Amino acid sequence: MNLGKVFGEVSPLLFQGLWITLEVTVLSLLMAFILGLCSCFMALSKRAVLRGLSKVYVGIIRGTPLLVQVIYIQYAIPQLLQYAGFDVRFTPFFAGFVTLTLNAGAYLSEIFRGAINAVNPGQMEAARSLGLSHAQAMKIVVLPQALRICLPSLVNQFIITLKDSSLISVIGLADIMYQAKIYVGRSMESFATYTWVALFYFVIIAILSHISKTVEKKVMI
Amino acid sequence: MTAQIIVNNLHKYFGKLEVLKGISLEIQRGQVVCVIGPSGSGKSTFLRCINRLEEPTHGDITVDDILITDPKVDLNKVRRNIGMVFQQFNLFPHLTAKQNIMLAPLELKLKPKREIEQKALELLERVGLSEKADVRPRQLSGGQQQRVAIARALAMEPDIMLFDEPTSALDPEMVGEVLAVMKELASIGMTMVVVTHEMGFARDVADRVLFMDGGIIMEEAPPAEMFSNPKNPRTIEFLNKVL
């Protein structure tokens, strides 16, 4: 039980890893937000092809574990590309970024879809009756309300993605978890190290939750 | 002079259910037409077909000489000229009263922003809510919300106003303030089609009253005649129940 001593040694490594964790999470979430919106609009589209595409995408992501997805993208896809004659290799950061983006995008797509459906249809009707097009009504009437509705689920997904990013360490991305594993391998201090790792995540998420609560209060109607 | 709204043999199905079974009607410019009838008689569906919030199954509707049931018609342009007021107000809850009124003219860039804002303030004054300009709908009473909704529709400067049971969701003491605004509109010559259960309003303000039941217009008459001397047995039965 050398919590103090271990902290002294491991914290620079964990902070290094934390930076990577935040970087991959934030980048993925930004892209996932856009991807999720696109997939959600496809799901709500009149065209069966677009609806189908969105359904397949969400279905595949929801139907497979994240750990499988990340390994698949890091190792299986490059091999497939090799068969096709392309010699491509992904860095762990890139593969992790793509995986988290695809993963969070699918869940966000469902979150957005639910929120848009939760906006009273009378809102769309009122906007259309004023002569706005469907797209205009969506942009200035429905979406602003839907985003408020889904804010708690959105934050929840951000937190899940942040935590899920720890799985990316299996393909060698030097995030918090990866740094911790390396340190434990050297020092055998499992208990102290992983306690600090858990605390790191806990504190970041507590800060995130606090910020989101404040934002929520500000934008609620 | 041709009528402003011409409805010809309008039918509407929801799935297999025929809700409108052949409605034909002409409404002159400046007329106030009240539509009464029991729930499920198709009154609201009929009203919502006039700006194609409901898609007519067949039949023609012409508004201001434009065949609006034509699939190629620019619906968004047509709708700018037809204001609509809903039973549930449908104000935009994330915007203030003034922003609600300004939203569509701003988005459609009808005028410079300053003029649109000026107009919004005038409209708020007209419906007696100047002091509520910067208040969100949630903080307004039902009657106030409905008056803002009327102002919002008027901001597009429509020639025609459709009212879909505008007072049905209101507490009784707030009905009067909304009807007063509607009366003022009628008095300045707005063409109005009003689906309502307010027989007093129909009697005082309407030029014609339509009684609908089972998806058809059962009887049509000036209000004095409709309320004192109805002819159709269904009309008599209905009026006996509500008056």
Digit-by-digit pLDDT tens for chain A (221 residues) are 678 888 888 889 999 999 999 999 999 999 999 999 999 999 999 999 999 999 999 999 999 999 999 999 999 999 999 999 998 899 999 999 999 999 999 999 999 999 999 999 999 999 999 999 999 999 999 999 999 999 999 999 999 999 999 999 999 999 999 999 999 999 898 999 999 999 999 999 999 899 988 988 888 76
Alpha carbons A89 and A55: distance in angstroms, whole number: 29
Count CA atoms closer than 13 A to A13's CA, side-chain side.
Answer: 20
Contacts of B84 in chain A (CB under 8 A): 126, 129
Give the gap in angstroms from C-alpha A132 to the nearest C-alpha of chain B: 6
Tens-place pLDDT, residues B100-118 = 999 999 999 999 999 999 9
Alpha carbons A106 and A86: distance in angstroms, whole number: 28
* ipTM above 0.85 for this complex: yes
**Given A126, A129, A140, which is nearest B107 (Cβ)?**
A140
CA dihedral B12, B15, B18, B23 (to 10 degrees): 0
- Helix, strand, coil percentages (3-state) for chain A, rounded to 5, are 85, 0, 15
Contact (CB<8Å) A129/B82:
yes
Count CA atoms closer than 13 A to B87's CA, side-chain side.
Answer: 12
Contact (CB<8Å) A126/B77:
no
**Residues contacting residue A178 through CB under 8 Å, at least 6 positions apart:** A17, A169, A172
Contact (CB<8Å) B76/A129:
no
Tens-place pLDDT, residues B131-184 = 999 999 999 999 999 999 999 999 999 999 999 999 999 999 999 999 999 999
Compute how many other C-beta atoms are within 10 angstroms of the C-beta atom of residue B96.
18
Look at residues B192, B234, B186 and name the one whose alpha carbon lies nearest to residue B213.
B234
Look at residues B113, B188, B183 and name the one whose alpha carbon lies nearest to residue B147.
B183
Contact (CB<8Å) B76/A131:
yes
**Do residues B141 and B170 lie in contact, with contact meaning Cβ atoms separated by under 8 Å?**
no
Structure tokens at B114: 């300053």
Contact (CB<8Å) A131/B88:
no
**Do residues A190 and A35 lie in contact, with contact meaning Cβ atoms separated by under 8 Å?**
no
Contacts of A140 in chain B (CB under 8 A): 103, 107
Alpha carbons B10 and B43: distance in angstroms, whole number: 12
Reported residue count of chain B is 243
